[in-house]
Amino acid sequence: MNPSPLSIHRWTPLSVASVAAVVGAQLLLVAVPLVFGANVVERLTTLCIYGILALMWNSLAGYGGLISVGQQAFFGLGAYAAIRLADAGFPVYPALALGALLVAVAALPMAQAMLRLKGGEFAIGMWVVAEFVHLLVNLDPLIQGETGTSLIALNSFDAEARRSYTYWAALASMAALAWGMFFLLRGRLGTAAQAIRDNEEAAASVGVRVFAAKRTLFLLSAFGCALAGALWVATTISFQPKTYFSVQWSAYMIFMVLVGGIGTFEGPILGAVLFFAVETAFGATGVWYMIGLGATALLFAMLLPQGLWGAIEKRFGLRLLPVGYFLK
Amino acid sequence: MPELLSAAGVGLRFGALTVLDGVDFAVGEGEAVGIVGPNGAGKTSLLNVLAGAYRPTVGAVRYGGGEVSRLDAAERCRLGLGRSHQVPRPFLGMSVIENLMTAATHGGGFSGAEAQVRSLDALALSGMTPLANRRAETLGLLDRKRLELARALATAPQVLLLDEIGGGLTDGEAAELVSIIREIRARGVAIVWIEHIVHMLLQVIDRLVCMDAGRVIANGEPRAVLADAGVIDAYMGVA
């Protein structure tokens, strides 16, 4: 049936080298708390959390074609679940992951309802969901409305140990989610998701189970955003609902993914690093920083809609972390 | 010829608009059927009902002996119903070979090496091997149409539903598509083909159906259907 001497491949020497480099860099990052001071460790923890958020928003929008401005629902719920579990006497670091898992379970019925909405309806619907869960969390006597509470259990660790543990937890979470997504995208879900991203009806016409694929992405994104929220509360200790359920988190995610390159695997990571760098440099300038972010996102949307990595990939045919196929 | 895919008493309404009105249609195993008719006759709607993109308001769709009316497009594709779209809908962000691998893994249900063999086969049959690594968004119209065919073929269909795949092409390009479709047919794949370019159809089909205003108005040997007075009146525009 196949007389051609050509065959289908996934890896190039460049992609093997870049995956090896990423693994190497991640291993080096493990040693950061042993070498650097408190400030660097804290900043890199933030970067890891941004990385998670960017990856998760991209998995939903870039691959599932589902634009959400309500991912802060899961971010806030992740933090809330960690606080609730720790309050119930659960060991605090495992509580971060278990809480995120519980949020993903809660996201299942949400997916059944929300994924029936299309386009703008879904985007705004998710925002409504976020406001709704925000109000529900406020009703919890432990949270005391907008007064909020703290992840008190963390005070049992001394400051330096806590900083290191939280950093390692964030690094491990980002690496696990990124590699998990990498392997998912190399499997059936990857071709399904990229097909849905490009044309939903055509995807269905070649046998892609559109709803099931979207649901998987929705749950993955809920889990990841919840984990990011739990890690955030581990860095700041205090939990005030309106900070966690703020739409600003979705705005950050959109920024990172748009600038980095929506629908590419590498783009959001690049976007997170850029966002982090901009925030580190200009974050203290207050309102002008926000205006600058907005203007940058706008310029990218108009002039470079594929984002930085999308443009690089198209221009040079580069694929560092290969989720596709080629013929040779 | 045993019946493979059929529509029985199919009606389709969007609000007050009746698009299909009591349509009976069938294609046998390995048979090639053409569908002609004026614009708005309901040809594409019938194809969408057969493929599962639309659910009929009344009537039933049967395939391989079972009723498939309630199955969606993805499930029908997995059972062996492949289709092309009137306006090609390639996965633009993927390369040609990735388009085919997607079809082979999902619609065809193949994994690993088998998916690759199927994709390479569809690639070769459609003459797209030199374009395998091109992003679909860089393809011109003829290549997008060839990709529609190749992608449907990679799902290993028993029936291929083609929607005006010949439109907008030069005679030479059309001839190229005809030879690909004949090759697919020679493998025993049944074909249902909507087309305005009748001379393309006549090179492939065994039987011709003419539709008008949501109904089947003629069905039979192609030349006889084209000579039918009702068909000439409704479709050819000469009385």
Chain A residues touching B53 at Cβ < 8 A: 201, 204-205
Q: What is the DSSP string of A154-213?
A: GGGS-HHHHHHHHHHHHHHHHHHHHHHHHHHHHSHHHHHHHHHHH-HHHHHHTT--HHHH
pLDDT of A29 reads 93
Which are the contacts of B224, defined by CB distance < 8 A and separation ≥ 6?
none
Residue B61 parent element (H or E) = strand B58-63
pLDDT in tens, chain A (328 residues): 445 567 888 888 888 888 899 899 999 999 999 999 999 999 999 999 999 999 999 999 998 889 999 999 999 999 999 999 999 999 999 999 999 999 999 999 999 999 999 889 999 999 999 999 999 999 999 998 888 898 888 888 998 999 999 999 999 999 999 999 998 988 899 999 999 989 999 999 999 999 999 999 999 999 999 999 999 999 999 999 999 999 999 999 999 999 999 988 889 999 999 999 988 888 888 888 888 888 888 888 888 888 998 888 877 777 777 778 888 8
pLDDT of B239 reads 44
Query: Taking CB atoms and an 8 Å limit, are A206 and B119 in contact across chains?
Result: no
CB–CB of A307/A296 below 8 Å? no
Query: Taking CB atoms and an 8 Å limit, are A204 and B90 in contact across chains?
Result: no
Closest-CA residue of A relative to B107 is: A207
- Tens digits of per-residue pLDDT, B148-171? 999 999 999 999 999 999 888 899
Closest CA to A200 of A306, A305, A64: A64
Query: Taking CB atoms and an 8 Å limit, are B106 and A210 in contact across chains?
Result: no
For chain B, the structural domain boundaries read 1-73+160-168+190-239, 81-156
CB–CB of B4/B28 below 8 Å? yes
CB–CB of A207/B107 below 8 Å? yes
Is the CB of B103 inside 8 Å of chain A's CB atoms?
Answer: yes
* Long-range contacts at B163-167 (CB < 8 A, ≥ 24 apart): B163/B43, B163/B44, B163/B47, B163/B83, B163/B84, B163/B85, B163/B86, B163/B194, B164/B44, B164/B86, B164/B194, B164/B195, B164/B196, B165/B84, B165/B193, B165/B195, B166/B195, B166/B196, B166/B197, B166/B200, B167/B86, B167/B195, B167/B196, B167/B197
pLDDT of B237 reads 66
For chain A, the structural domain boundaries read 32-246
pLDDT of B143 reads 95
Is the CB of B157 inside 8 Å of chain A's CB atoms?
Answer: no
Query: Taking CB atoms and an 8 Å limit, are A202 and B85 in contact across chains?
Result: yes
- Tens digits of per-residue pLDDT, B4-13? 999 999 999 9
Burial of residue B67 (CB within 10 Å: 0-12, 13-18, 19+) is: exposed
Across B195-224, average pLDDT: 94
> Is residue B101 pLDDT above 90, yes or no?
yes
Distance from CA of A192 to the nearest CA of B (A): 7
Of the candidate CATH numbers 3.40.50.300, 3.20.20.70, 1.10.3720.10, 3.10.20.740, the domain formed by B1-73+160-168+190-239 belongs to 3.40.50.300
pLDDT of B238 reads 53
Half-sphere exposure of A134 (CA within 13 A, CB side): 21
Measure CB to CB from residue A202 to each of B89, B109, B133 and give the nearest one.
B89
Chain A residues touching B123 at Cβ < 8 A: 327
- Tens digits of per-residue pLDDT, B8-65? 999 999 999 999 999 999 999 999 999 999 999 999 999 999 999 999 999 999 999 8
Across B199-211, average pLDDT: 95
